[in-house]
Amino acid sequence: MPAAAFVAKAAISTLLLPPTNGLILILIGLCCLRRRPWLGRSLVGAGLLSIYALSTPLVANALMRTLEPAPVSAKALAESDAIVCLGGGKRFGAYDEPGGEAVNNATLVRLRYCARLARQSGLPVLVSGGAPVGGVPEARLMAAALHDDFGVTARWVEAGSDDTADNARLSAQMLLPQYRRIALVSQAWHLPRAAQAYRTAGFDVRPAGTDYANREPFSVLSLLPKDRALYASSVAMRELVGLLWYNIRRG
């Protein structure tokens, strides 16, 4: 069974993020049409406009770019003590795998980049990710993929975390104080929030982003709605809300 806190956070995120937030505006607007026509039409229009705008590559990529740090430098990598690779999810019903579960594409991209950095630097690797919705912990699947597919062995496997804050807290129990300076591997859009969590846990973080948002030249296609663009906008807004929440808690 999924952890209760994990389910609660997922439900709140669904309500706050697109397309659900736009649909809520539309529903409220429809309810207001009879008594307050102007307000109702305004809310319906705002909901439709928000869903359209957030579905365009132009807006989605712009939101992503507000989050993405510069790529990790050779100097920053050389000054690190270890590499930490964060899990990004897994696939259930992975019938192409003996155990029926496997890392998803997002995690696979992180592992590929982690392996490259590990070979370049010779640094030890920690993989981090639990099983908040059940099954095999992500970190165990990550360690297997890192070894079998990329020829790199993870020295530490942190398999108990449910979210990014847990990743940082449990990684600290394994690495600190000896391995304080880390290169933190994740999707570039995820690193501002993840790096903040790891700094709070006591690490000196070098963000090592991968899978940057598309920078394709502007064209009329940039204004056409796409399902992938809506997903990217939702991801970016979730990260921005998460950063805001972290700052509120720290303040």
pLDDT tens track, the chain, 251 positions: 465 666 666 777 777 889 999 999 999 999 999 999 999 999 999 999 999 999 999 999 999 999 999 999 999 999 999 999 999 999 999 998 888 999 999 999 999 999 999 999 999 999 999 999 999 999 999 999 999 999 999 999 999 999 999 999 999 999 999 999 999 999 999 999 999 999 999 999 999 999 998 888 899 999 999 999 999 999 999 999 888 887 787 66
DSSP 8-state symbol, 220? G
CA–CA separation, 45 vs 26, rounded Å? 8
The answer to whether the beta carbons of residues 99 and 105 sit under 8 Å apart is no
Considering the chain, tell me which residue range(s) the CATH 3.40.50.620 domain(s) occupy.
74-210
- Among residues 49, 71, 53, the alpha carbon closest in space to that of 62 is found at 53
Q: Exposed, middle or buried: residue 216 (CB in 10 Å: 0-12, 13-18, 19+)?
A: exposed
How large a percentage of the chain has pLDDT more than 90?
Answer: 84
- Among residues 41, 114, 34, the alpha carbon closest in space to that of 82 is found at 114
pLDDT value of residue 8 = 66
CA–CA separation, 108 vs 138, rounded Å? 11
Q: Which two tokens stand for residue 222?
A: 């940039």
pLDDT value of residue 98 = 82
CA dist 157 → 84, 120, 176 (Å): 10, 21, 15
CATH of 74-210, one of 3.60.15.10, 3.10.20.30, 3.40.50.620, 3.40.50.10860: 3.40.50.620
